Amino acid sequence: MIRIFSYTLLLFLFTASAVEDGRKANKAYEAGNYEEAEQLYLSAIEQEPDNAKLYFNLGNAQAKQGKAEEAIQSFMEFRSLAESPEDKAKAEYNIGTLLAERENWKPAASHFKNSLKLNPSDTDAKHNYERVLAEQKEEEGENGEEQNQENQPPPEPSEYAIAMKKQAEKLVAQRKYSQAYNLMQRALEADETVRAFNDFIARTKNVSEINSN
């Protein structure tokens, strides 16, 4: 079966007031020089760390190189900085696309669903959401019912799981323990390999509960 999931790859453009590296990075990206574009976006981010557009474009350049883990983190950073629901939806959509390409159907469905919640009029997100749900159902039918995971050894974490943990660690570094815990809980609902970080999740939860008292 041929599966085609397209990214929201339209680059954000930068005005004369934006950093020069951002404009150079766009030119490199459009020329297909994705590695060069990635380095230029990273350089631009060092100069303007709160420029959401840079993270979105960086994620696209990383995705083009097959760097799923890095791209997911970049799109998550863009989402946290973006102001409009439509822009936040773009990040969710691209993360869903990355995961769908790797046939990680359950977390892909979760992010396409999030994209639709933020932008219900996005027909591409709706189409992809329906497709990944169908793929997930088919895969579960082939594998049979999921085995009871209680007392099972932790699984090998997926690229998605690793990306979510790194994002949570950034929140912990900012002492946003409750947000970090909630992020990991949502990730766990989408991807069971997040169980590999159960100790980290438990520690984050404990600190979060202490802070709330």
Output the domain CATH number for residue 69. 1.25.40.10
Identify whether the C-beta of residue 41 lies closer than 8 Å to the C-beta of residue 54: yes
How many domains is the chain partitioned into structurally? Answer: 2
Longest CA–CA span in the chain (Å) reads: 58
Residue 2 falls inside a structural domain: no
Question: Last residue of a domain, which of 81, 99, 123?
Answer: 81
Residue 37 falls inside a structural domain: yes
Question: Last residue of a domain, which of 46, 61, 81?
Answer: 81
* Selection from 194, 169, 202 nearest residue 73 by Cα: 169
- Residue 11 tokens, joined: 């680059």
Residue 12 falls inside a structural domain: no
Tens-digit pLDDT string for the chain (213 aa):
334 456 565 567 665 545 788 889 999 999 999 999 999 999 999 988 999 999 999 999 999 999 999 999 999 999 999 999 999 999 999 999 999 999 999 999 999 999 999 999 999 899 899 999 999 888 877 665 445 555 567 789 999 999 999 999 999 999 999 999 999 999 999 899 999 999 999 989 888 887 665
Question: Last residue of a domain, which of 81, 111, 131?
Answer: 81
Residue 176 falls inside a structural domain: yes
Residue 69 falls inside a structural domain: yes
This model's pTM is above 0.75: yes
How many Cβ atoms are within 10 Å of 113's Cβ, its own excluded? 18
- Residue 56 tokens, joined: 């979105």
Domain span at residue 191 reads 159-212
Distance, in Å, from the CA atom of 200 to the CA atom of 164, rounded to the nearest integer, reads 12
For the chain, where are the alpha helices, taking DSSP H only?
A: 20-30, 34-47, 52-64, 68-81, 85-101, 105-118, 123-143, 159-173, 177-190, 198-212
| DSSP secondary structure, 102-164, as one string | TT-HHHHHHHHHHHHHH-TT-HHHHHHHHHHHHHHHHHHHHH-SPPP-TTPPPPPPPHHHHHH
Residue 199 falls inside a structural domain: yes
| CB-based burial label for 93 (10 Å; 0-12, 13-18, 19+) | buried
The interaxial angle of helices 123-143 and 105-118, nearest 10 deg, is 160
Residue 124 falls inside a structural domain: no
Residue 33 falls inside a structural domain: yes
